[in-house]
Amino acid sequence: MKSNAQVVVIGGGVVGCSVIYHLTKLGWKDVVLIERSELTSGSTWHAAGGFHTLNADTNMAALQGYTIGLYRELEELTGQSCSLHHVGGITLAGTPERMDFLKAARAMHRHMGLDTELVTPQEIRQLSPITNTEGVLGALYDPLDGHLDPSGTTHAYAKGAQMQGAEIVLRNRVLETSQQADGSWQVVTEQGTIVAEHLVNAAGLWAREVGEMAGVYLPLHPMEHQYFATDDIPEVYQHDRELPHVMDPEGESYLRQEGKGLVIGFYEQDCVPWAVDGTRWDFGHELLSENLDRIGDSMEVAFNRYPVLAQAGIKTIINGPFTFAPDGNPLVGPVPGLRNYWSACAVMAGFSQGGGVGLTLAEWMIDGEPSRDVFAMDVARFGDYCTKSYTRLKVRENYQKRFAVSYPNEELPAARPLDSTPAYGIWQQQNAVFGSSYGMEHVNYFAPVGEHPYEIPSFRRSNAFDTVAKECHAVRNAVGINEVHNFGKYEISGPGAHDYLDTIMAGKIPPTGRLSLNPMLSPKGRIIGDFTVAQVNADVFQVTASFGAQAYHMRWFEQHLPAQGVHIENVSKSRIGFQIAGPNSRELLQRVTRADVSNQAFPFLSVGEMDVGQCQTIVQRVSYTGDRGFEIYVPAHNQIALYQVLSEAGRDLGLRPFGMRAMMSLRLDKSFGSWMREFKPDYTPMETGLDRFIDYKKTSDFIGKQAVLAEREIGVERKLCTFVVEARDADVDAYEPIWHDGEVVGFVTSGGYSHFARKSIAYGFLPVNLANEGRSVDIEILGEMIPAKLYKEPLFDPENEYLRS
């Protein structure tokens, strides 16, 4: 083994091999992969080898499509067979909810250009004659599904990488990793030490242990998983073609043909986290003891669904472990807090996702950013709230829900509550229905007195509808109150703070006492944050954005931090408080502060420190509801005092608490976008209208400046638009296709129901030539074409006259 390399990758499973294949393909040749044993010595060797494109996130689905397309290329390049079987696959629907789910997936695939189709029970029987369609309403057919040989595929990646210059060192365990003063990584192995500029953790089942060597905790956990292969079955092999895969979510099983028999695997409810205290180093090519009792119920369902199984003998039973992150997607990218340390871990579907993970990581390392938004698998989508036990509980829940219908309004219950604010108890007494984001509890809405505080998951309007309407009307007609803990908040201070912000933000940096809305851009001019920047005092800024992007934003802030002169503190949990919004909000605030908060003294976009009641606060005159409003920030230990002051003073002003559901409805009246819906790295400022906040003339060389200047020169091909939709009982969620003249011309980013305007609203992209006032389109919602019309003016206070009054 050589003593220096540009990149060391730890782990020779399918993921590590894909990483070195892509790094060398994209041009980095000085790459060494170190494997403890032989290639495929973790989860990889006993995988069932199935692959598919389906994923709730469109970019993940696209990367899965990329992975599947790559195998032929690999075979041609290396001559190593992956034993590909492109047999197609069907996902059955046994309930109307599942049918809605598949219709929504089909609609999303249309916008992605994927050729999935809804099929009838009769068509299912033609495709897969061994399937009993009793109780089945229909299915989604995906021609891209198939399976391969896990070992052959891993060796194909490895061979391709070696042909492109990579070195692979086998039977050599990495023992220690430590960062040197110059930023390089010292990697101590059984065969000696190697120093690398970049280190990649692709250690699969041992990713936790390898992470610990660098002092990081990666939120992932292994789960046991069982499948079995049958003896030969004549009904299976006496067929003129190989049978397609069948996914039976109601039976929690997946099935495919293997030679002359079948393979069937289960995601059972009675599932078992594996190696809770860590993975043994001597765990190798061995299987876990089988436990058919755990999958007994699912097997019974399977015998009914595929009667031939009941007579078949079982040839082999495989019980093996593989790793999951809390939401089931991989953990990829630069690990926050470390320099040049990269994660390629928690890849639970290595043969659907491995290629996409390798490509993404290689682009990120070489180009500085991936070519598309990959937040859904970014290691920084999780933060330090992920304790080991939280991770384990969430991973277990995710495994159990692998085949469950996911609803747009669903809140998953495991490991909650974790983080909450002091106001949590007050909201509980008011019958709050809670949601959770980034480990923190927030109020979704307040259920009527006497009603069980639970929102029924649904693709259609839920039981929260009427109550949320009342909360919205309270804001628009009187004054509403809700927490501001759902913002990520950062205090950025010091003599260099202004210039630093001027470089990382694309907009104007406000003078003391003022705030500005500010896009943060990547070098390629993509949106990586939509911030509010407030200069509270000279050289002291409060910067706020999405609560769920804390680790993501802190990683960016730290990557661009100058050696001195700037101090950054993440105050998201320590600085909380309330926003009050609505026509009576100013009077309410004036009643409890001696500061002058009149429009003359404290106009729109002001910020100031002031006493509110007995609390020292920071107040910002801005509100995401689009109404007249104030955000009031205090240290967490003052939150209850602040609440009491505001609630007493607001009693005769119609003060009413409101939750996130109302907030997300109110924003629709103003055509306000939101992070990870309208604003994300797939989109640019000019496409989304955020360019109005860019200060193109500022002298600083802000990040992304060249790209946005070029964009302004060339123009864009699509524009984000607001539509009023003639929806009856189901509003848009995201990624529904937008049709015009019989063709899909765009897609929805988000939307919902505006209780103020009593209209269903959608945001979505249209080609520039179609993005005209009054344009009629159809939006496909749950399989139905719903007419919609484009509106350029916001429905509420279009000229912002009231907002500024």
Binding site for ligand FAD (CB under 6 A): 10-16, 34-37, 41-44, 46-51, 173-174, 202-206, 210, 225, 227, 318, 320-322, 347-352
Min dist CB 167 to ligand FAD, Å, is 14
Which residue's CB is nearer to ligand FAD, number 204 or number 334? 204
> Least Å distance between CB 288 and ligand FAD?
9
Residue 193 or 430 having the CB closest to ligand FAD: 193
- Smallest CA-to-CA distance from 144 within 69, 239, 47 is with 69
Going by C-beta distance under 8 Å and a sequence separation of 6 or more, which residues neighbour residue 317?
226, 227, 228, 290, 292
Task: Establish how many alpha carbons lie within 13 A of residue 148's alpha carbon, considering only the half-sphere containing its beta carbon.
Answer: 30
471 close to 658: Cβ distance less than 8 angstroms:
yes
Q: For residue 84, give the 3-state DSSP assignment.
A: coil
In the complex with ligand FAD, the residue whose CB is nearer, 48 or 443, is 48
> C-alpha distances in angstroms, 532 versus 263, 293, 383, 625?
54, 55, 21, 15
Judged by beta carbon, residue 229 or residue 632, the one nearer ligand FAD is: 229
In sign, the C-alpha dihedral spanning 129, 134, 138, 142 is negative
- Minimum separation from the CB atom of position 51 to ligand FAD (A): 6
**Least separation, in Å, of the C-beta of 187 and ligand FAD?**
9
> Which of 140, 348 has the CB closer to ligand FAD?
348
Q: Which C-beta is closer to ligand FAD: that of 330 or that of 582? A: 330
Closer CB to ligand FAD, 170 or 478, in the complex: 170
The b/e string for 313-324 (b: 16+ C-beta within 10 A; e otherwise) is eeeeebbbbbbb
* In the complex, minimum distance from the CB of residue 502 to ligand FAD, in angstroms, rounded to a whole number: 41
Residue of 734, 785, 552, 527 lying closest to 61 (CA atoms): 734
Nearer to ligand FAD, 14 or 395 (CB): 14
CA-based nearest residue to 546, from 410, 658, 679, 667 = 679
We find the least distance from the C-beta atom of residue 154 to ligand FAD, in angstroms, to be: 8
Helix (H, G, I), strand (E, B) or coil at 802: coil
Position of tokens 């041609």?
Answer: 76
In the complex, the smallest distance separating the C-beta of residue 136 from ligand FAD, rounded to whole angstroms, is 23
Length of the chain: 805
Nearer to ligand FAD, 230 or 722 (CB): 230
Cβ 484 to ligand FAD, closest distance in Å? 39
Kindly state the smallest distance separating residue 212's Cβ from ligand FAD, in Å: 11
Among residues 362 and 472, whose Cβ is nearest to ligand FAD? 362
On whether the CB atoms of residues 242 and 341 are closer than 8 A, the answer is: no
Gap between the Cα atoms of 99 and 733, Å rounded: 16
Among the listed residues 83, 73, 81, the one whose alpha carbon sits nearest the alpha carbon of residue 164: 73
Of 629, 589, 592, 610, the residue nearest 513 (C-alpha): 610
Q: What is the DSSP string of 531-561?
A: EEEEEEETTEEEEEEEGGGHHHHHHHHHHT-
What are the CA-CA distances from residue 467 to residues 446, 452, 512 (Å)? 7, 13, 40
Best CA proximity match to 730, nearest among 31, 192, 107, 41: 107
Least separation, in Å, of the C-beta of 15 and ligand FAD?
3
CB of 541 to ligand FAD, least distance (A): 41
* Smallest distance from ligand FAD to CB 131, Å: 19
In the complex, what is the shortest distance from the CB of residue 523 to ligand FAD, in angstroms, rounded to a whole number? Answer: 29
Residue closer to ligand FAD (CB basis): 16 or 608: 16
DSSP annotation of 513: T
| CA-wise closest residue to 138 among 90, 104, 87 | 90
CB of 140 to ligand FAD, least distance (A): 19
- Taking the least distance from each CB to ligand FAD, the nearer of 167 and 609 is 167
Q: Supply the minimum distance, in Å, between the C-beta of residue 348 and ligand FAD.
A: 5
Nearer to ligand FAD, 402 or 573 (CB): 402
The residue (of 325 and 440) whose beta carbon lies closer to ligand FAD is: 325
- For the residues of 435-484, what is the DSSP string, one character each? EEETTEEEEEEEPPTTS-S-PPP-SS--TTHHHHHHHHHHHHHSEEEEES
Half-sphere exposure of 257 (CA within 13 A, CB side): 27
Phi, psi at residue 121, to the nearest 5°? Answer: -55, -40
Q: Which is nearer to ligand FAD, 290 or 691 (CB)?
A: 290
Q: What is the DSSP letter of 312?
A: S
Angle at 243 between CA 239 and CA 244, to 5 degrees: 160
Pairing of strands 487-493, 527-537: unpaired
DSSP codes, 780-791 = EETTEEEEEEEE
- Taking the least distance from each CB to ligand FAD, the nearer of 347 and 619 is 347
CA distance 472 to 413: 26
- Tell me the closest approach of the beta carbon of residue 359 to ligand FAD, in angstroms: 15
Number of Cβ within a 10 Å radius of residue 729: 12
> For 707-721, b where at least 16 C-beta lie within 10 A, e where not — what string?
bbeebeeeebebbbb
